[in-house]
């Protein structure tokens, strides 16, 4: 850049920084763009694309299977139009276009985009401040979770009413598929979205994420994907489970395109968010924050992001291939034309299993982060916690075919996949050891977050042990495709994942919202949900052991009793979740103002004022000690040394 353009400077934290030319007011066109323009852009472009596609498709055209062509083409055009229109309307393309014109952001532009002085409006814009993105993620997570939860209630209603069909089979199947994928998306963003975005940069002493605009992009792409998913309910529904196995999916209504678009967009969002989180963790840590001084949460988020980064493309490609199979008559997965159903299953589960750890690892490390605070002692064996995360990440990509033991794809491969799957119990065991060790002799300050840890570990043991059954091929030969599997993964993803995320939310609530959480009401909600959870899924284990297949809407009267119990439990979960949500919302609106460090934590994120100012730190912190520096010297240890001293004075020094 030639020197003449640098005509002005801005003062950034006391330094004079040369600035590029300022075009118009700070923020430029971003001043006019918000969620309203995004919705107008999305719906408008979707409508235009739909009309154009409808006009271009020859009237009465049909595919080789005599299905009409128009609905698929028009729906795909609408989805693409919605995605591009919404992204343009929110301002996702403004950055690259400015860049093409050579218009660099000035400091004033960047501050506007970070939401300076915008008040509540900043939550409805393409705001780059990581704290705003974190709160936006929390709201989006809550909406998707509520949507999935509502479907879960309807599914359990159908299964509880054993004497007749409440819903049509087609609608029931769509509820199952939509519940599945909605909950998977919700759980993936449960900790990685709100807590990692809001807390991690402050925790490592950074002023923002490494790529703030990509951060905003990842959030708004989740919104785009979520609405693509909702649209499937009006175009026939995802009737094939969340795994949408081929060739069943190719028979499906146009809604399958909605699923494929959801995944394609969500995978971009995850990829962008993963890179952002990883680069932030690698490069943005404060001075003095060596790897041994980095909080374990950062390791966990880094590991989860790494898994997401390599696993999601498999899923995305599988859906792109399924989309071309459907629209352009390629035949990747169509056995009648030389495709392979096993190819789809492999691609799907190459994501499908790592994704489980993408959910579980952040849900676990957030517990590691809060346990030392409420136990007033250091994290037990930091090295083992890191080793556990590394082990899980390393093995996560080597176990996918345990979902395919019974497919007949490669019976001989069952041996190595059983080996790798059972091996993963060792690093997971490390993570349990860290929890047990941190709990060991720790005086408990009984606040909601720490009490939730007990619930999570209780569930995780049940989920883990049933996982060992399922990892074993002979047992899986009975359990595969039954309600036992459903109960198992709910124990992991909900019992450990969601309850862990709720613990994390309760812990970081004062920092994120500036309000004190009404822990009394929230605890009532939490433990109601926990009780309902045990009832629902214990009964479901029994139904599975009796031989009830999953994804059915009518069944043998043998399974009636466990399903009735399960449905009652599900309503209790729903009630508990509503109470919890009510406590969160009412505290957020009208709770007491929170002090900056209500739990007496020693981590960096709690040393900032509440609400956290824009850019977090006026002066960047320097880290001088290990994390979790709580506790007093162990009285027993001293005594043991005295005993040894008395016995073997000559050996004590060598130990």
Partner 1 sequence: MTTMDTRPTGPPDEPEEPTNRPPSMHRVRNWLKRPYAKGIVGLTILLGILLLPVAWLILIPMQATGAPASEIMEGIEQTVFVFTLVSVPIVAFVYAVLVYSLLKWRKYKGDQIPKDESPAIRTNTVGVVLWTAMSSVLAFFLVVWGLIELAQITSNSYGTISADQQPGDEQSVIVNVTGQQWVWTFEYPQHDGVTTEVLYLPKDRPVYFNVTSKDVIHNFWLVELGVKIDANPGAITQTGVTPNKLGSFNLRCAELCGMHHAYMETSVEVVEGETFESVMREMGGGRTA
**Hey, which residues between 423 and 452 contact partner 1 (CB under 8 A)?**
423, 425-426, 429-430, 432-433, 436-437, 439-446
**Choice between 428 and 494, CB closer to partner 1:** 428
Under rule CB under 8 A, which residues in 3-32 are in contact with partner 1? Answer: none
Under rule CB under 8 A, which residues in 404-423 are in contact with partner 1? Answer: 406-408, 411, 414-415, 418-419, 422-423
Instruction: Pick the stretch among 111-119, 184-192, 305-313, 596-604 that binds partner 1 (CB under 8 A).
Output: 596-604
Nearest approach in angstroms of CB 260 to partner 1 is: 18
Nearest approach in angstroms of CB 134 to partner 1 is: 25
Nearest approach in angstroms of CB 211 to partner 1 is: 35
Q: Do residues 376 and 440 make contact, with C-beta atoms less than 8 angstroms apart?
A: no
Scan for tokens 């290990």, then name that residue: 626
Under rule CB under 8 A, which residues in 338-357 are in contact with partner 1? Answer: 340-342
> Interface with partner 1 includes 104 (CB under 8 A)?
no
Of the residues 290, 635, 653, 654, which one makes contact with partner 1 according to CB under 8 A: 635
Structure-token pair, residue 487: 């109960």
Show Cβ contacts of residue 84 under 8 Å, excluding neighbours closer than 6 positions. Answer: 45
Query: In sequence order, what are the beta bridge partners of 8?
Result: 19
> Interface with partner 1 includes 653 (CB under 8 A)?
no
Nearest approach in angstroms of CB 318 to partner 1 is: 15
Identify the H or E element spanning 653: none
b/e 467-497 (16+ beta carbons within 10 angstroms → b): beebbbbeebeebbebbbbbbbbbbbbbbbb
Under rule CB under 8 A, which residues in 148-177 are in contact with partner 1? Answer: 169-170, 173, 176
Nearest approach in angstroms of CB 268 to partner 1 is: 28
Structure-token pair, residue 583: 């406590």
Instruction: Pick the stretch among 100-108, 146-154, 239-247, 317-325 that binds partner 1 (CB under 8 A).
Output: 239-247
**Choice between 100 and 632, CB closer to partner 1:** 632
Nearest approach in angstroms of CB 122 to partner 1 is: 31
Coil/strand/helix, residue 207:
coil
Identify the H or E element spanning 228: helix 212-232
Of the residues 475, 524, 578, 614, which one makes contact with partner 1 according to CB under 8 A: 475
**Choice between 44 and 429, CB closer to partner 1:** 429
Identify the H or E element spanning 12: strand 8-12
Q: Do residues 496 and 363 make contact, with C-beta atoms less than 8 angstroms apart?
A: yes
Structure-token pair, residue 281: 């963790």
Scan for tokens 């985009």, then name that residue: 113
Of the residues 251, 283, 292, 329, which one makes contact with partner 1 according to CB under 8 A: 251
**Choice between 85 and 627, CB closer to partner 1:** 627
Nearest approach in angstroms of CB 653 to partner 1 is: 13
Under rule CB under 8 A, which residues in 41-100 are in contact with partner 1? Answer: none
Of the residues 457, 505, 577, 612, which one makes contact with partner 1 according to CB under 8 A: 457
Site string for partner 1, 181-220 (x = CB under 8 A): ----------------------------------------
**Choice between 93 and 445, CB closer to partner 1:** 445
**Radius of gyration of the chain, Cα coordinates, nearest whole angstrom:** 26
**Choice between 35 and 516, CB closer to partner 1:** 516
Cα 608 to Cα 202: distance, rounded to the nearest angstrom: 8
**Choice between 275 and 432, CB closer to partner 1:** 432
Instruction: Pick the stretch among 256-264, 309-317, 321-329, 459-467 that binds partner 1 (CB under 8 A).
Output: 459-467
Cα 205 to Cα 285: distance, rounded to the nearest angstrom: 6
> Interface with partner 1 includes 630 (CB under 8 A)?
yes
Nearest approach in angstroms of CB 489 to partner 1 is: 15
**Nearest partner of 612 among 81, 130, 94, 27, judged by Cα:** 130
Of the residues 18, 36, 613, 631, which one makes contact with partner 1 according to CB under 8 A: 631
> Interface with partner 1 includes 530 (CB under 8 A)?
no
Query: Cis ω on the peptide bond leading into residue 524 (within 30° of 0)?
Result: no
Could you report how far apart the first and last alpha carbons of the chain are, in Å?
Answer: 64
According to the 3-state scheme, what is the secondary structure of 288-319? CCCHHHCCHHHHHHHHHHHHHHHHHHHHHHHH
Q: What secondary structure does DSSP assign to 67-116, as a single string?
A: -BSHHHHHHHHHHHHHHHHHHHHHTTTHHHHHHHTT-PPPHHHHHHHTTT
> Beta strands 15-19 and 8-12: pairing type?
antiparallel
Under rule CB under 8 A, which residues in 600-619 are in contact with partner 1? Answer: 600
CA distances from 235 to 38, 417, 522, 584 (A): 23, 38, 38, 34
DSSP 438: H
Identify the H or E element spanning 491: none
Of the residues 22, 157, 162, 381, which one makes contact with partner 1 according to CB under 8 A: 381
**Choice between 185 and 479, CB closer to partner 1:** 479
**Choice between 40 and 436, CB closer to partner 1:** 436
CA distances from 387 to 13, 272, 291, 395, 463 (A): 39, 26, 13, 12, 21
**Choice between 465 and 618, CB closer to partner 1:** 465
Nearest approach in angstroms of CB 267 to partner 1 is: 23
Instruction: Pick the stretch among 263-271, 302-310, 322-330, 538-546 that binds partner 1 (CB under 8 A).
Output: 538-546
**Choice between 25 and 520, CB closer to partner 1:** 520
Of the residues 336, 557, 625, 654, which one makes contact with partner 1 according to CB under 8 A: 336
Scan for tokens 């590991």, then name that residue: 303
Could you give the count of Cα atoms lying within 13 Å of 409 in the half-sphere of its Cβ? 20
Reading phi first (left if > 0) and then psi (alpha if -120 to 50, else beta), residue 91 is in: left
Query: Cis ω on the peptide bond leading into residue 325 (within 30° of 0)?
Result: no
Number of residues that bind partner 1 (CB under 8 A): 102
Nearest approach in angstroms of CB 465 to partner 1 is: 4
Nearest approach in angstroms of CB 3 to partner 1 is: 55
**Choice between 107 and 602, CB closer to partner 1:** 602
**Choice between 56 and 465, CB closer to partner 1:** 465
Instruction: Pick the stretch among 78-86, 266-274, 463-471, 495-503 that binds partner 1 (CB under 8 A).
Output: 463-471
**Choice between 119 and 633, CB closer to partner 1:** 633
DSSP 592: P
> Interface with partner 1 includes 473 (CB under 8 A)?
yes
Cα 111 to Cα 128: distance, rounded to the nearest angstrom: 9
Nearest approach in angstroms of CB 15 to partner 1 is: 37
Instruction: Pick the stretch among 35-43, 74-82, 213-221, 370-378 that binds partner 1 (CB under 8 A).
Output: 370-378
Under rule CB under 8 A, which residues in 555-594 are in contact with partner 1? Answer: 555-556, 558
Q: What angle do CA 223, 225, 229 make, to 5 degrees?
A: 115
């Amino acid at each position: 850049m030639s020197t003449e353009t640098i005509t002005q400077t801005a003062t950034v934290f006391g330094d004079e920084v040369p600035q590029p030319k300022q075009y118009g007011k700070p923020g430029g066109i971003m001043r006019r763009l918000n969620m309203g323009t995004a919705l107008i852009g999305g719906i408008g472009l979707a409508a235009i694309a739909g009309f154009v596609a409808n006009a271009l498709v020859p009237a009465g055209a049909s595919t080789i299977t005599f299905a009409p062509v128009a609905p698929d083409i028009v729906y795909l055009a609408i989805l693409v139009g919605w995605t591009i229109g919404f992204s343009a309307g929110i301002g996702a393309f403004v950055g690259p276009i400015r860049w093409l014109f050579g218009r660099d952001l000035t400091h004033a532009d960047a501050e506007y985009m970070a939401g300076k002085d915008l008040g509540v409006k900043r939550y409805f814009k393409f705001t780059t401040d990581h704290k705003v993105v974190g709160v936006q993620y929390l709201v989006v997570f809550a909406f998707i979770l509520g949507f999935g939860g509502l479907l879960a209630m309807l599914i359990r209603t159908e299964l509880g009413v054993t004497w007749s069909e409440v819903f049509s089979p087609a609608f029931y199947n769509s509820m199952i598929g939509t519940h599945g994928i909605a909950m998977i998306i919700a759980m993936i963003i449960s900790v990685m979205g709100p807590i990692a975005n809001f807390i991690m940069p402050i925790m490592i002493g950074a002023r923002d994420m490494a790529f703030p605009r990509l951060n905003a992009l990842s959030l708004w792409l989740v919104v785009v994907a979520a609405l693509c998913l909702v649209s499937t309910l009006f175009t026939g529904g995802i009737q094939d489970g969340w795994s949408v196995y081929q060739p069943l999916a190719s028979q499906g209504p146009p809604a399958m395109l909605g699923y494929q678009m959801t995944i394609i967009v969500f995978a971009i969002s995850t990829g962008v968010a993963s890179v952002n989180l990883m680069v932030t963790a690698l490069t943005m840590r404060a001075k003095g924050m060596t790897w041994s001084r980095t909080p374990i949460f950062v390791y966990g988020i880094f590991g989860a992001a790494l898994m997401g980064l390599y696993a999601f493309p498999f899923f995305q490609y599988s859906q792109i291939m399924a989309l071309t199979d459907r629209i352009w008559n390629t035949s990747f997965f169509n056995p009648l034309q030389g495709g392979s159903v096993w190819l789809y299953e492999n691609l799907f589960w190459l994501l499908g299993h790592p994704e489980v750890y993408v959910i579980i690892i952040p849900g676990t490390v957030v517990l590691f982060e809060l346990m030392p605070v409420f136990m007033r002692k250091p994290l037990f064996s930091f090295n083992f916690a890191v080793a556990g995360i590394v082990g899980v990440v390393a093995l996560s990509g080597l176990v996918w075919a345990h979902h395919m033991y019974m497919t007949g794809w490669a019976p001989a491969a069952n041996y190595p996949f059983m080996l790798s799957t059972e091996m993963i119990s060792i690093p997971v065991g490390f993570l349990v050891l860290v929890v047990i060790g941190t709990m060991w002799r720790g005086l408990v300050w009984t606040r909601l977050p720490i009490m939730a840890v007990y619930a999570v570990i209780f569930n995780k043991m049940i989920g883990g042990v049933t996982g060992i059954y399922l990892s074993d091929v002979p047992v899986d030969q009975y359990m595969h495709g039954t309600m036992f599997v459903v109960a198992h993964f709910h124990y992991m993803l909900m019992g450990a994942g969601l309850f862990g995320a709720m613990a994390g939310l309760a812990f970081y609530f004062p920092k994120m919202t500036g309000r004190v959480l009404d822990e009394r009401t929230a605890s009532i909600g939490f433990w109601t949900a926990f009780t309902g959870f045990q009832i629902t899924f214990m009964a479901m284990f029994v139904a599975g052991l009796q031989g009830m297949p999953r994804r059915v809407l009518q069944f043998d009267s043998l399974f009636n009793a466990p399903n009735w119990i399960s449905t009652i439990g599900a309503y209790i979960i729903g009630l508990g979740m509503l109470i919890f949500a009510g406590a969160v919302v009412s505290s957020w609106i009208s709770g007491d103002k929170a002090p900056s460090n209500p739990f007496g934590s020693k981590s960096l994120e709690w040393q900032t004022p509440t609400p956290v100012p824009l850019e977090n730190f006026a002066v960047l912190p320097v880290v001088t000690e290990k994390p979790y520096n709580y506790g007093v010297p162990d009285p027993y240890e001293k005594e043991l040394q005295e005993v040894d001293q008395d016995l073997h004075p000559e050996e004590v020094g060598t130990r």
